[in-house]
Amino acid sequence: MEYLNKYILNYFNFLSIEILGFNLLNYFIFLILFVLAFLFNGILANFIINRIKSIVKKTTNIIDDKLFDALLPPLKFLPLVIVFFFLSLSFENQSNTGKFFFNINNTLATIFFIIF
């Protein structure tokens, strides 16, 4: 039991190492969430697209079908923009890391609106 307690203590000491003002645990959480966002991006995007498609198919108008086809690329990109936005909220805007993520967030939002 003593070895397990030492191992847990060493593990948490390792995770408390700070890099650029954040400990390693925060970076691991961000990395896991970002990887999950990429993995589930297709599933979430397809869910959103299928829900909108079911609404669009109920109408007899052709214009909304063409508008839906034009909106497909930005709708597939939207879940990544949203997840990255929520990840970047945890950083302070005054730190270098916060400014870096703020610039990336602005870039992703700009790309989303240009595609849109």
Distance CA 52, CA 23 (A): 41
Q: Number of folded domains in the chain?
A: 1
Residues spanned by the domain of 76: 31-115
Q: Between the CA of residue 9 and those of 14, 58, 103, 108, what are the distances in Å?
A: 9, 59, 37, 39
**CB-CB contact of 35 with 80 (8 Å):** no
94 found inside a domain? yes
Decide if 38 contacts 31 (C-beta within 8 A): no
Please tell me the pTM assigned to this model. Answer: 0.55
The pLDDT-based confidence of 37 (bands split at 50, 70, 90) is: confident
Residue pair 44/79 in contact by the 8 Å Cβ criterion: yes
Residue 2 has pLDDT above 80, yes or no: no
Span 55-85, pLDDT tens digits: 888 888 888 778 878 877 777 777 777 777 7
Task: Give the pair of three-digit tokens for residue 55.
Answer: 């609404």
Q: Is residue 20 one of the residues assigned to a domain?
A: no
